[in-house]
Structures are given as structure tokens and as C-alpha cells.
Amino acid sequence: MLSQIRAYDLRGALDRSRAFLGRAREAIGRWRAGRLWRWSCVVVAGLLGGWLGLALGGQVVTPIGPADVTFSLSPQWHGETVVNVAPLGQLAFDTHAAPLRIEAAITEIRSSAAQEMFTDPQAIDRMAAGIGADLTSGVTALVLRSLLVAALGAALMGLLLFRNAWRALASAVTSVVVLAAAGGVAALTFNPSAIVQPRYTGLLGEAPAVVGSVDDVVGRFTEYQEQLAGLVGNVAMIYQATSSLPVYEEDESVIRVLHVSDIQLNPASWSIIGTLQEQYGVDVIVDSGDLTERGSAAEDVFADEIGKLDVPYVWVRGQHDSAGTQRAVEAQSNAVVLDGDVTEVAGLTFFGAGDPRYVADATRLNPDEAEVAALGEEQAASVADGETDVDVAILHTRAQARPFDGVVPLVLAGNEHRRSTELSDLGTRFLVQGSTGGAGISGLDHDEDRPTPYQASVLYFDAETGRLQARDDIDLGGVGLTSAQVERHIEEDPDRTVGDEPEEEPEEEPEGDQEEGGESTP
């Protein structure tokens, strides 16, 4: 009897559940058959289609001086304006309350406009006068294009879902109305004072120390507008200068090495290095240190540019590079980090060691010059006693490099921000590279009367002997200048004996002097 009662109760519960579900289905059916459901679907289609339209086509490219700047608009819960300064990072400003994100990024430098700056010194002044109008034109074009692509995306989504032209049109109208309303809210809530409270990401975490007080920028807007125009023009000049350098054809009997140093967080260096790599057909790039300015974690992303180069990148740590910088470089697929190692790259045998000092940390007890030299002597002794003959030694400073005299035929170094070279009594060529970063971000200072030049060298090695045959020293006038000079130097006795003192006086090469048999290409 008890079991029959329980079965009856269970059947009753099941019947009640089925009845409830039936009534729910009927209610949903009536609701879906009504106007509210249809209009809800139209609104959702309008919002989704408008979002897709903005994602695919909500960008415009506006010429500002010699640069093409891409403006984009996209939905985002937190409204902000973002300036993308790749590869340094981003600056974000809470300029409005509407759920819209406005982004601006420099995407290309136009050679024709850059060339005009070489021939007409007044071009930068004209650009400064018109930069405000260019920005206004770009934002206006962005708004109109965003409304158009949002409406088109919503209409296509409506046609895809409803197969009805009127509902598709309603979805388009919904998208335009919502976007226009968001734009109106953005205009009404726009807060110009937000520029004094930017949020920095990426390498720009150090920006306050680089660009100075943001309050000063607001108070001197006109002057900074002119400086912005000058900076854009100067970057364009660098692009133009590198594009005019000579091109060399490939030769399997020659190994080409691009020697760079002391980039020190200057993003303009990557365009120069990339151009030289392509135009000279470089087989390997050697960097003798100081890739960053402070070696901070925020600067690690700067090393990602190494991975975009198409050849091996041999690197040693400099005084401004931290252990974190070294790990960031090691993470690049084409990077070869040397820290007391001997390795073969592109047919040449390299020894490299990082600088034992880290000067960016004021609390660190760094070794003095004598201790650095002593470390260099230990490293040179290990290379001399090794089973493998080393073609090139890479150290950051002269103190650490000097003990390799008579041990290897060529030593590459940096640190001094000025190129110099010397052939020692023992047959070792010391080549101290200048700053390929124009001494870093400080090279962008317009108040400098003589900006630090960008310097690099292309070294030509015999593929069979591994000996240096010649080199091209490349100088690009510092930011704001338009000069580019290539000077060829020939090694008179590339197969000389290393380690035995010759009877003749050693050869000295002052900076800028040309060796016998060389040629100069302006």
C-alpha cells in the first residue's frame, strides 16, 4: 500500500511538471509571436552587426605631416582615448564616459613627404601650423566612417537573420542611433583635463622621467604641438636617410656582419637596423650591449623587436642591461646570448661575455675598472687555452676587452657612444662601436646643438678564413639632421699573425679617418 501511494505521488509530480512546462512553452511561443520578441531580435542584431562593422572597418588613415596615422573606434565598457606608441607602449586617458575606445597609432612614414623635408626647411613649420586641422579632419572622417560601417554591418546581420529588408533596415537604424548616442555622451562628458592623468603601459612606464611634467605639456600646448611636428619630421628623415644607403649583392665567399651597440631604448634604431640588414644582405647582427636604459621589467618588451629580424642576433649584456633584459633577449627565437660562451653563428666563431656591472641599480655594489679588467684577463685566458679558435670576441667595455689583445684577431665593443678603432702591436683589431640608438632617448632632445649620430658598421669576413677583410662605417646625422655617410675601410693584412709582436709601428685609426685603399660614399 505504501509503495502504491509513493508511485501515485510521483506520477502526480510528473504530471504537474509536464503541465508547467507546457504552459511555459505556450507563454514563450506567444511572446515570440509578439512584437516585443521581434523588436528585441532587431535590436540585438543591430548591436551585434554594428560591433562587427566597427571591428572590421572602423578605422581611417589620416596623413599628419610625413606620417600616416590610423584612427580607430571600438565599443568598450570603459571609455578612454589611447595613443599607441609602438613599440614603447601606450598612453591611455579617461577623456569621456561613453562606452567607446578611440585609438591613434602611427602606421607608416611616407617617403615622398619625408623627402620634401630635406629640400624645404620650412616644411616642418608648415606641418606644425596644420597639425591641429589634420587631427580634426581625421576624427571627423573616423566618426562618419564608423556610422557607415556600423549601419552596413547591422543591415547585413539583419538580412542574414531575418531575410527581411525592413527588419534589416531597422537593425541598421538601431546601430546608428546607439552609436550616435554614445558619441553624443562622449562629447558631453569630454574632459580635457584628463590629459594630466595618463596611464602608462609597456616601456612608457618610465615616461614621466622622459617627457617631463604633463602639467607643463598642457600649459605649453602650442609649443608642444610644434615639437610633435618636429619629432614626426625627424623620424621621417631617419627613414629617408637609411633608404638612400647603397645596396650590395650577395656573395657566398663573404660573411656580412652588422655591428650595433648602445641602442638604449630608442625605437628608431630598429628601423635603421632593419633597413641596413636588408640593403647589405647581412648574415648576422652583433650587439655589444646596452639594449635598454634601465633594464627594468617594463623595458623587456623592447627586446621583442629582435625576433622580427630575419637573421641571428648575437648579443652580450651591457652596463644598462639587467638579468631580466638578458632573459627577454634569450626568449627571442633568433637571439644568441653569449655570457662567457663560445659558439659558431653564420660560419664565424664568437666568444662573448656580459658586463659584470649593472649601473641602473644604485644599491648594487659594482666592480671597479681593475676588477672588470681582471675578469677580462680570466676570460681571455680561457679563450686562449680553449680547443676552438675564436674569430671575434664581443665585450661591452674597453676595460674588459683589452686583455684579449693577441688572443683573437678582432674584438668588438661599445659603451663609449663614439666609434673608434685600433690595430694593436699583437695583431688584434679593436673596434669600439658608437651608439646605434643616438645615445638613447636623450638623443631626441631638440636643445642639443650637435645630436649624437646613429652609428653602425657592416663587417666583411672571408668565409673560409673567418678574418675581417673590410668594413663600412655608417653614420646617420643625429635626430633633426639629414646627413648619411658611408665610409669604406680595407684591412691591409687580414691574414696577419695574432700574438707575435711585429717590428713595425702599430697602426692607429682616428675616428673619421679613411684607411689606404678605402672609398667614401656620401
Q: Residue 11 pLDDT > 90, yes or no?
A: no
Which stretch of 204-213, 268-277, 283-292, 426-435 has the lowest confidence by average pLDDT?
204-213
The bridge status of strand 80-85 relative to strand 100-109 is parallel
The percent of residues in the chain predicted with pLDDT above 70, rounded, is: 66
The DSSP code sequence of 275-324 is HHHHHHT-SEEEE-S--SSS--GGGGGGGGGGGGSSS-EEE---TT--HH
**pLDDT for 407:** 93
**pLDDT for 355:** 92
* Residues 159-202 pLDDT 10s: 888 788 888 888 888 888 888 888 888 888 887 666 656 666 54
pTM for this predicted structure = 0.55
* Residues 23-60 pLDDT 10s: 556 555 555 555 666 777 778 888 888 888 888 888 88
User: How much is the average pLDDT of 392-397?
Assistant: 94
Q: Residue 153 pLDDT > 50, yes or no?
A: yes
**pLDDT for 191:** 77
CATH architecture of 251-521: 4-Layer Sandwich (3.60)
Q: Supply angle C-alpha 419, 420, 422, rounded to 5.
A: 155
Residue 239: what residue type? Y
Residue 211 pLDDT class (50, 70, 90 cuts):
very low
Average pLDDT, the chain: 76
**pLDDT for 213:** 40
**pLDDT for 478:** 53
* Residues 299-317 pLDDT 10s: 888 899 999 998 999 999 9
Hey, is 104 helix, strand or coil? strand
More confident residue, 88 or 400: 400
The DSSP code sequence of 423-467 is E-TTSPEEEE---TTTTSGGGG-TT-SSPPPEEEEEEEEETTT--
**pLDDT for 199:** 67
User: How much is the average pLDDT of 235-251?
Assistant: 53
Ranges of each domain in the chain: 43-210, 251-521
Which residue in 378, 335, 336, 334 sits closest to 356, CA to CA?
378
